[in-house]
Structure 1
Amino acid sequence: MFKWLGNKRLIILMAGVIFFVALMGFTFGGRGAMSWPEGLLKDTVTFVQGWLNKPARAVAGFFEDVRRISVLYEENRQMKLTLTQYAKDTARLNDLEAQNNRLKDALGFTERQQQSNKYRYRIAEVYASSPDPLNSTIVINLGEKDGIKANMAVMSVEGLIGRIVDVSPFYSNVQLITDLDSSSTKALAVTVKGKDNASFGILEGYDRDKGLLVMNKIPKTDNLTAGDVIITSGVGQLFPRGIEIGEVVSRDEGEFGITHTALIKPFASFNHLREVFVIEVPEL
């Protein structure tokens, strides 16, 4: 109670002083100079006013800083959102551009292939693939409803990749040629492009360390050489004739010296398959 009265008296006193100084300024405003009591009083009042204004200016400055920080924070947040959206749009655009280029390649591929043979090429997307390098199987988004059957050959734009082994109504499993072995169900009869009647061999293995297919049972008199292009021969009717597989890297004598062995670099990249083609051979 007394403290409040004391503060009230101080406020009344200061208001009176300010009023008195203002009155003196109005009364003696026309004089050129102040007397020393007037100057002292004016300086005192000015000092008190400055002392009282400091907290007010500090508070005002604090709230102004808070406002500026809030504005900067919002601008920074909006900028981050814009950059994030830009990155997403750029990634989406790049993906669409890459897909468009792949589809253009696919269209050009089917047109070129249909000029060289009478096969029908059904484009499919790779739906799933195993990260296990020993599991040489992929899943495509074509199935029985699309007329897909077991043992149909499958290739990419680059070359042969495998054959259909399991079919469901909407999907099919493709066994890659990297899973070849000497069993009759997996071995692949091949020949050399341009030397169809002079060269013959069997693809029945894959060197995972080198990333090369193994071609065996090559006759010693066969004129197969490095750089030759290996294609399917059509023998056994498991794969249609004339599908490119890869290029001969080297040729060596076989284990018992009766036949020769060659290493083939496949044209297809098995680690980045996106779109593939199921080959339909017209019935005779």
Structure 2
Amino acid sequence: MLKLFKLLGNKRLFVILIALVMFIALMGFTLGPRATLSWPEKFLRDTVGFVQNIIYKPAGYVAGLFKDIGNMREIYEENQRLKIALAQYTREKAKYNFIEEHNKQLEEDLKFTRAQKERFNYTYHIAQVISVNADPVNKTLVIDLGERDGVKVGQSVISIKGMVGVISHVSNFTSTVKLITAMDAKDPNSNGIAATSMNNHKTFGIVESYDEATQTLLMTQIKQDDPIKRGDTIVSLGDTDKYPRGLIIGEVVNVQESKFGKTKTATIKPAAEFQDWKQLFVVFTPEAPK
């Protein structure tokens, strides 16, 4: 019996030794530099990947579901805002159409001529800026539209944001634009711009000079009881051919009493940005009958 226990004990020790040797050999095999994985490693990784796929895929679906619910709420709120904007646009469009039809009827009743009816049908021609003259005394730029394109002296030039200046010289292929930042009330050749407010058409004044220090325009000859106020958008009134009606000039930043208290002056921040120009627009107005 004692011999049997010794034999079994030796076998058990032998098996443990064999297992230990195989474990060490396996570790050495797996830790060495290899281009491919061993089959135990492949089996283990595939098993872990399968389990992870079972666990994480439903979790991913749940997380995605909550995210989609949040996105749906944002989409719903944005849809509501768009509906409100559409309703406002529809109402304003109807109001505009009503006013336009009423205006046409009045024109017919008053027997407006064709020229009068088409007076404010402007067209815009895109122009590339070729060069800019930064001289404070002569603030101009050159565009690639000229006489062959129908450009004439006195036409207004605008950017997407607002008025830039007027055509001062024209050649066959290019034109020179005198900037409104060159306006000077003391210069007899500098014509002021008759202007009003988009917020209140009772406003009237003359934009006639530019202050280099504050980079603002000065609007003068405003009556004492004029409703002009800070934040108003100033546009051209269109009483001359040089500055057609409705061109945006800028925004009122300050209104103050004149020296003698009989009129007011307004400081206007130009709407156009007078730097880094690439494209501008020349405003074409209908030709007056000869």
TM range (shorter): 0.5 to 0.7
Write the distance in 1 (CA, Å) between the matches of 2:287 and 2:230: 35
Deviations 1:215-267 (A, max 9, x none): 11111010000000000001233210001110000000112222111100011
Runs of 4+ in 1 over 3 A off after TM superposition: none
Write the distance in 1 (CA, Å) between the matches of 2:131 and 2:263: 39
What pairs up with 1:121-200 in 2 under 5 angstroms?
Answer: 121-182=124-185, 183=188, 185-196=190-201, 198-200=202-204
> 1:263 and 1:195, CA in 2 relative to 1: closer, same or farther beyond 3 A?
same
Structure 1 counterpart of 2:53: none
- 3-state DSSP class of the match of 1:174? strand
- The 8 Å contact of residues 184 and 208 in structure 2, kept in 1 or not, is answered as yes
Q: Is 1:236 the counterpart of 2:240 in the alignment?
A: yes
Q: Is 1:224 the counterpart of 2:228 in the alignment?
A: yes
Write the distance in 1 (CA, Å) between the matches of 2:246 and 2:155: 14
Displacement of 1:279 in angstroms is 0.1
- 3-state DSSP class of the match of 2:195? strand
Displacement of 1:129 in angstroms is 0.7
Structure 2 counterpart of 1:252: 256
- The 8 Å contact of residues 207 and 219 in structure 2, kept in 1 or not, is answered as yes
Displacement of 1:138 in angstroms is 0.5
TM-score (norm 2): 0.56
TM-score (norm 1): 0.57
Displacement of 1:185 in angstroms is 4.3
Deviations 1:170-228 (A, max 9, x none): 110100111112246421111101422x1100011111111111111111010000000
Among candidates 237, 255, 271, match of residue 267 of structure 1: 271
Gaps of 5+ in 2: 1-99, 101-119
Write the distance in 2 (CA, Å) between the matches of 1:255 and 1:122: 43
Gaps of 5+ in 1: 1-115
Write the distance in 1 (CA, Å) between the matches of 2:234 and 2:276: 22
Structure 1 counterpart of 2:40: none
Among candidates 194, 212, 215, match of residue 216 of structure 2: 212
Say what the alpha-carbon RMSD is for the aligned residues. Answer: 1.8
Larger radius of gyration: 1
- 3-state DSSP class of the match of 1:247? strand
Structure 1 counterpart of 2:205: 201
- The 8 Å contact of residues 220 and 265 in structure 2, kept in 1 or not, is answered as yes
